[in-house]
């Protein structure tokens, strides 16, 4: 096997086995620090030994066994120094394990532990990316535009909180599962959105590493919980958004609006998969299942990606879906997105009135000013549109979006010296 093949095998093993190894060690030793360090040492050992010894027939088993040895060595060292007595005792605890709950998978235990509601949201995201996805602290810090040392402290505090608060390493009971699953999905959706809404000077318009990882983790949850409608809905939403990735930014590095995208550049395989998941949820709704937020958002994206041309978009269906979503999530951002659809159905004047009612709550949200600028432009209010574009540029998060908004603003022409609309 060539050196390239071995490197590929190690990369694949890290992607596929990291969460399993960390979860197995956490279950055995009851300590996320031990699990993380031992797993990292096992993969380092693979980097050193596999090129010479060859890739083992069962990489996951090799990594788990190696990590277990590393963990035992650490516990014994620290036990001799007077610490980690509890972990050392756990090594030889022959008591039967407690029931896993409704779903029998160690990785799911790990995800629910990392996404426990006792942790702050940013801590849940960081811990999930480190312990479940296997991203390095440096990678996570770069993704969220913070210093590596600060991100390291954030992860350390989260692990300490789990230990001190005795947060259990288990899947919630059937009674608690729906609420806890929603928390896990919220973390994964936040990771995905961070990939598409990354902000900061010089920030890439799309963080492929984050969007890809969010999809991979959501696929994992989907495989572990195939009957959950919101899991399927979130996966469909991510796939249908990701399908448009290559068309979102022009060759010159400018953001491309949905209405202007080359639909031939969309990923047909991802769209097909996303539409299949949406149809499955529609069939479930026909039997009385009530769709949740992610399912409705996925259905909206399915309507968009079903149209061969923006002029073929079924805006009445999109507005109807937003009407359902507003009842579930009456947030100003949902109302803003509904108004954008209303503009296509009932005209920009009706939509502008709805948007202006959101001004007090969305004054600092750049998409609010982008929407106002576009509606005012369509209504012929050049000066007011330019002012809205100016504010949107100030609040925009990355160079691709700034370039797009600047071009749209400049297309209005220079303002007349004597005033105007």
Lowest mean pLDDT among 144-148, 184-188, 353-357, 386-390: 144-148
Kindly tell me the sign of the dihedral angle through the C-alpha atoms of 154, 156, 157, 163: positive
Cβ contact 244:234 at 8 Å: no
> Would you say residue 386 lies in a domain?
no
Give the residue numbers spanning the domain of 169: 105-214
Q: Indicate the residue among 304, 323, 346 that finishes a domain.
A: 304
**Residue 182 pLDDT more than 50?**
yes
**Residue 419 pLDDT more than 70?**
no
How many domains would you assign to the chain?
3
| Same domain, yes or no: 270 and 176 | no
| Same domain, yes or no: 194 and 136 | yes
| Same domain, yes or no: 74 and 117 | no
Contacts for 354-359 with beta carbons within 8 Å, 24 or more apart? 358/332
| Same domain, yes or no: 136 and 203 | yes
Q: What is the mean pLDDT of the chain?
A: 86
Kindly tell me the sign of the dihedral angle through the C-alpha atoms of 344, 345, 348, 350: negative
d(C-alpha 313, C-alpha 242), whole Å: 19
> Would you say residue 29 lies in a domain?
yes
| Same domain, yes or no: 165 and 249 | no
| Per-residue pLDDT band at 421 (split at 50, 70, 90) | very low
Q: Indicate the residue among 35, 61, 91 that finishes a domain.
A: 91
Mean pLDDT of 34-53: 93
pTM exceeding 0.95: no
Cβ contact 386:409 at 8 Å: yes
**Residue 199 pLDDT more than 60?**
no
> Would you say residue 147 lies in a domain?
yes
Between residues 321 and 418, which one has the greater pLDDT?
Answer: 321
Between residues 3 and 391, which one has the greater pLDDT?
Answer: 391
Q: Indicate the residue among 36, 58, 91 that finishes a domain.
A: 91
pLDDT in tens, 329-371: 999 999 999 999 999 999 999 999 999 999 999 999 999 999 9
């Amino acid at each position: 096997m060539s050196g390239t093949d071995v490197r590929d095998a190690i990369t694949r093993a890290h992607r596929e086995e990291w969460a399993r190894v960390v979860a197995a060690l956490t279950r055995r030793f009851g300590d996320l620090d031990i699990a993380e360090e031992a797993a990292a040492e096992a993969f380092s050992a693979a980097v050193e030994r596999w090129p010479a010894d060859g890739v083992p027939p069962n990489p996951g088993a090799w990594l788990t066994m190696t990590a277990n040895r590393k963990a035992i060595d650490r516990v014994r060292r620290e036990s001799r120094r007077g610490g980690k007595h509890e972990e050392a005792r756990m090594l030889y605890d022959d008591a039967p394990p407690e029931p896993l709950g409704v779903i029998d998978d160690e990785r799911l235990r790990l995800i629910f532990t990392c996404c426990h509601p006792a942790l702050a949201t940013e801590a849940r995201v960081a811990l999930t990316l480190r312990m479940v996805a296997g991203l390095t602290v440096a990678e996570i810090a770069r993704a969220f535009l913070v210093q590596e040392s600060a991100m390291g402290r954030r992860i350390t505090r989260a692990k300490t909180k789990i230990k001190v608060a005795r947060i259990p390493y288990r899947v919630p009971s059937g009674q608690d599962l729906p609420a806890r699953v929603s928390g896990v999905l919220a973390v994964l959706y936040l990771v995905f959105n961070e990939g598409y809404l990354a902000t900061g000077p010089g920030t890439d318009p799309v963080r492929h590493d984050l969007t890809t990882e969010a999809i991979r983790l959501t696929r994992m949850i989907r495989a572990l919980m195939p009957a959950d409608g919101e899991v399927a809905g979130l996966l469909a939403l991510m796939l249908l958004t990701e399908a448009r990735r290559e068309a979102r930014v022009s060759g010159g590095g400018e953001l491309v609006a949905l209405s202007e995208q080359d639909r031939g550049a969309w990923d047909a395989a991802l769209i097909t998969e996303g539409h299949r998941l949406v149809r499955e949820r529609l069939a479930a709704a026909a039997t009385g299942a009530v769709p949740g937020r992610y399912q409705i958002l996925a259905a909206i994206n399915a309507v968009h990606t079903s149209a061969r041309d923006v002029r073929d978009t079924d805006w009445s269906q999109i507005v109807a879906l937003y009407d359902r979503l507003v009842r579930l999530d009456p947030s100003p951002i949902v109302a803003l997105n509904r108004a954008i659809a209303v503009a296509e159905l009932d005209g920009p004047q009706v939509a502008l009135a709805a948007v202006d009612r959101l001004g007090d709550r969305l004054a600092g949200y750049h998409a609010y000013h982008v929407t106002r600028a576009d509606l005012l432009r369509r209504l012929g209010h050049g000066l007011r549109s330019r002012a809205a574009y100016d504010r949107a540029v100030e609040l925009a998060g990355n160079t691709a979006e700034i370039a797009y908004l600047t071009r749209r603003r400049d297309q209005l022409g220079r303002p007349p010296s004597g005033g105007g609309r």
